[in-house]
Amino acid sequence: MIKRVLKIFGVIIGAIIIYIVGITIWLYSMIHYYEESKDSVPLSELPKDFVTDVDLIRNITQCQDLPEFEARKLWYHKMDGYHSEPHIDCYFKRKMTEDEFKNLFKMTENIYWDSDKDWTLSFSRGWSKKEYMDVPEGMKEDIAVKIEKLSQTGFTLSYWKNVNSRPIDCDSLNMIAEMILPSYSVVSYISDIDNIRAKLRFNNASKNIADVFPNGSEEIKIDTFVNGKWYIFSMYRDEKYADLRILSSRHWCGNGIIK
């Protein structure tokens, strides 16, 4: 009986060791693949349109508590043959304490900041032309900015240029809502050749969006096809910001649900 128990115990231990070794090999291969997919270039080759100035990044991100940092590494994805989307690895001059890092999570209340289930902070914001919307001081037109993998030691700063910038058409929004929306401003604009992702801020505080959508759930959603484009509009009834996507095509998931 004891020999049988020991045998079973040995099988279990062996399976655990095989599992750990397998996971270790898989993680190593994924890290190796990720590093191999990078095309590193000298930081001096960063186009002047893409800034790494601490004060400018603080203003763009609306995070004055972002610690002092320095840009150390510039790289592109190898599939990006035109080197049009630079990624800059930035490191804080002093590692944040746990309390300082936790304090940064108050930024998730800001419409440009978010966090995932692993409590990883991220940021994205873009703008088109000055004739269409406000452009942050010190920045060029038609640029979008992203921050990823923000940790106690640093983050990755990424840029890309918006394509085919055009104004958000108020008449089209009123058409999809089937009513007259309050006046709004575009506060973030990110585009590629065919698609637009934008954030809208409704300007008239006395004209609450609930007056326009008097009935329904707490979250207001509109998803419709107009003039060859998909319009996806969403916002919470008690807030003044809305997300808008204008897509030329839709992607299907395996379960047949359109995203």
- State whether 123 and 233 are in the same domain: no
What is the residue type of 152? Q
- 216 HSE (CA, 13 A, CB side): 16
What is the average pLDDT across 6-20? 57
CB 245 within 8 A of CB 195: yes
Are residues 145 and 235 both part of a single domain?
A: no
Give 125-172 pLDDT, tens digit per residue: 999 999 999 999 999 999 999 999 999 999 999 999 998 888 888 888
The two structure tokens encoding residue 162 = 């918006």
Contact 259, 213 (CB under 8 A): no
In residues, how long is the chain? 259
User: In terms of pLDDT, which residue wins out, 213 or 257?
Assistant: 213
Q: In this predicted model, which residue has the larger pLDDT, 170 or 41?
A: 41
Range of the domain at 181: 170-247
pLDDT digits (tens, 9 = 90+) for 107-129: 988 999 998 766 789 999 999 99
Residue 61 CB coordination number (10 Å): 21
Q: What's the distance, CA 236 to chain centroid?
A: 19
In a domain, 259, yes or no: no
pLDDT computed for residue 10 by the predictor = 56
Q: If pLDDT is split at 50, 70 and 90, which confidence band does 213 have?
A: low
Q: Do residues 45 and 156 share a domain?
A: yes
Residue 257 within a domain: no
Structure tokens at 238: 């008690």
